[in-house]
Amino acid sequence: MNISTLNIKRLAFGIAICAAIFSSCKKSDNPNNLPDVDPSAYEGKVDGYNSSDEIYPKNLVAYWSFDGTKNELKSSSAPTSSSNDSFIPGGVKGQALSLKEGYVYYGKQFDAVKTAALKSFTISEWVQILNNGSKKTMLFQIARPGMFNGSFDFILETNANPASNTDYIQIHPYFTTIGGGRQDNINNFGATNLSPKIGANKWVHLLITYDGASGVFDIWANTVKVGNYPNRGTGTSLFNSFEPSEIIMGANYNLIPGKTVSTDTSFGAMTGSIDEVRIYNTVLPQAYINALYNLGLAGK
């Protein structure tokens, strides 16, 4: 069979066209023309971060690492007094603060918690603690000199259960309102009572968020919202950080010699450990709350 030169050229042209069509239909490995990524840039990162220090750094207004120092690191503020406290290894990052019926008291006005500076906030800390069946624990207080109740009281109702109960701890924060009243949230009295497991050697991440626009006051434990009553209202029900104020960890004024303000004996100085206390002047979105938790688990 004779095949003319013209037919050969036509056949070759057809094959070339088919090849071009096939090539154009092949699926691209990068259809959106994204830039190349160096995998080594993400090695060792958690949720895209190298350290907890990278979480909302511009909104971090107070920070206690307790890694060999009790100073608040943003303002370089040393405590006024402390009792039955020591540094221990095995913290979330480096060392942690251990209290044996102890406290740390900062008798100064922190700029970070002045009235105009703190409208919305996130307070984050890692805790090791047991129930005790007898006394409440003041984990953290923005205290008002001369007054029993602070502008913000981070209360753990360790009195509600015996030390043998490590499945549930009652978390009961309060804040003082613009109108002078009190608002609270609690992980109890609801349809579901959520709580992290606790223990003398078990780190738990507790975090409070407050939105000064909506009045929403949330409790988080190991990234889970556990509060039953977050909607605290607006107007005169909004949080107010009264001045002057001071900061106490592990106690209230009644437990500090020479500072007693009432006859209330429902609290005991804290026995447990604290690490990585952070105050932000904004509400952290949940993705960043998750990142703080995961970074803490990784010791970052």
Is residue 16 one of the residues assigned to a domain? no
Per-residue pLDDT, 224: 96
Is residue 8 one of the residues assigned to a domain? no
Per-residue pLDDT, 20: 47
Is residue 76 one of the residues assigned to a domain? yes
Question: Alpha-carbon distance 62 to 83, whole Å?
Answer: 22
How many Å separate Cα 81 from the centre of its chain?
26
Instruction: Give the pTM.
Output: 0.86
Residue span of the structural domain in which 256 resides: 46-297
Per-residue pLDDT, 193: 78
Is residue 29 one of the residues assigned to a domain? no
Per-residue pLDDT, 188: 84
Judge contact between 206 and 276, C-beta under 8 A: no
Is residue 135 one of the residues assigned to a domain? yes
* pLDDT tens, per residue, the chain with 300 residues: 454 554 544 545 555 554 544 444 444 555 545 455 455 455 689 999 999 999 999 999 999 999 999 999 999 999 999 999 999 999 999 999 999 999 999 999 999 999 999 999 999 999 999 999 999 999 999 999 999 999 999 999 999 999 999 999 999 999 999 999 999 999 986 556 799 999 999 999 999 999 999 999 999 999 999 999 999 999 999 999 999 999 999 999 999 999 999 999 999 999 999 999 999 999 999 999 999 999 999 999
Is residue 14 one of the residues assigned to a domain? no
What are the helix and strand counts (H, E) for the chain? 2, 13
Which domain CATH number covers 80?
2.60.120.200
Is residue 226 one of the residues assigned to a domain? yes
Number of domains within the chain: 1
Is residue 158 one of the residues assigned to a domain? yes
Question: Alpha-carbon distance 166 to 32, whole Å?
Answer: 51
What are the b/e assignments for 134-153, b being 16+ CB within 10 Å? Answer: ebbbbbbbbbbeeebbbbbb
Sequence letter at residue 27: K
